[in-house]
Amino acid sequence: MQSKLLSGQRRHGQVSQIIMEAYRFSNWHGTHSCTPERYYEPASIEEIKQVLAKARSERTRVKVCGYGHSPNDITCTDGYMINLKKMNAVLNIDEEKRQITVQAGCSIKSLDVDILPEYDMALPVVPCVGEPTIAGAIATGTHATGKQYGTLGSYVIGAKILTAGGEIVACTRERNQDVLRAASCSLGCLGVITEVTIQCDPAFQIHSVVKPSTFDEIMGRVDSFPDEHDHSKFFWWPHTENVIVFNDNRTSGEPVRNDFSWFWVVLMGYHFQQFCMWIGHVLPFLRPLINLFLFKVLINHTVDRVDTSYNIFTYPAMYSQWINEWAIPIEKTKEVLCEIKSRIEASAGLYANFPLEVRFVKGDDGMLSPSHGRDSCFISIITFRPYNRGGINRKFWDLFEDIVKKAEGRPHWAKNHTAGASHLRSVYPEWSKFCAVREKLDPEGLFLNDHLERIFGDKKGSKKDS
């Protein structure tokens, strides 16, 4: 359906605000889409206020979208959709304290590649995909790996939120602390975050050594594994004993070593692997053999690299995918992983996709951060969609969620989980406090949608998304 442009020039200033009807929003993965009643790209806070005022008058809900990389439907709406891509400016840089204030639409890539290096600074953690906006990444509890490093939101020391009523609420670690702790993983339901201040680190490189191992070898030292390197993680190929380990350490001043091979990265790593995954999609019983084959052909060797943190931590999201990721208490890592492996082996007709990813994150005080109050192990199962085909591997996902829920697991907010209010209330000590902050900032549920209603078990009176 073709979008219809409704208006162009702003009343004040030189930047146009795009307003469209019949705009079709789809997330990057192509797994969820929606047609909002109206789509806006405001260039100022005043323009956002106008959108919110109109939404209130028409009792229409509002959602803010970013890059759209979340594989679930957390940003979908049939009300009004706001994209903050035009609000991406740097507002302040404190070089002495290594702090930066940016508008919400600034991307992680712009920050860590174009802006911060000029001041010899870097983001403390960088997720595997750099295109999302800083506000979107914070809102969903985005993280990297490293037991001494928290979620991206844990490095937010200040923010400004435009509430449903059109009021700007400023919060810091000294002022409106509860609002900041809620905003550090807001799920997009507190208001429109217009700017954030982030505590950065001195610029650093990563010396990365990636090498094969086995499931039993890693389980034998999994309790100490997160402490062995600055940023440790591993992938396991289900139906095999094969594991690939990432041992990443911070460094500086080393010559860059990060060779690119078109044959291995593009031809084999993308096209050949995608074809093999498609075969596994069409003939699921072949997945165990495909998992083993691809590991032996593409993964079973050591790679030693040195580069900037961004170039090491990020990699292209080559395929559309379904992802289900949960955070469990770090001390339950071995117990949970061994149960997953044993139940896969004992389940006739269950053919698990590769890979299963394991990362580690420091605990923080964000009210709805998956790492709230505890160091966490994040376990992610991924179903790739070769040639944009394929649904959720429901039998595998149900088994996985059954295990992680029993281990007091908390879902990654941007991923394809099935958790509802009952389970979430039981695993988040400050669930009620977050809901109280949300009710105060958005008493009419202007920023809710179907996805968030399932999470909070809450319905409001808006005519849209109801």
pLDDT tens string 140-187: 999 999 999 999 999 999 999 999 999 999 999 999 999 999 999 999
Q: What is the pLDDT of residue 460?
A: 56
Q: What is the pLDDT of residue 260?
A: 82
Q: Write out residues in the chain with pLDDT < 50, as ranges.
A: 1-16, 461-466
The kind and range of the H/E element at 433 are helix 431-441
Rg over alpha carbons for the chain, rounded to the nearest Å, is: 22
Instruction: Give the list of residues 6+ apart from residue 263 with CB closer than 8 angstroms, or none.
Output: none
Question: What is the pTM (predicted TM-score) of this model?
Answer: 0.94
Q: What is the pLDDT of residue 316?
A: 79
Q: What is the pLDDT of residue 465?
A: 41
Q: What is the pLDDT of residue 317?
A: 77
Q: What is the pLDDT of residue 318?
A: 82
Q: What is the pLDDT of residue 459?
A: 63
Q: What is the pLDDT of residue 259?
A: 86
Structure-token pair, residue 316: 């292209």
CA 121 to chain centre: 22
The kind and range of the H/E element at 431 are helix 431-441
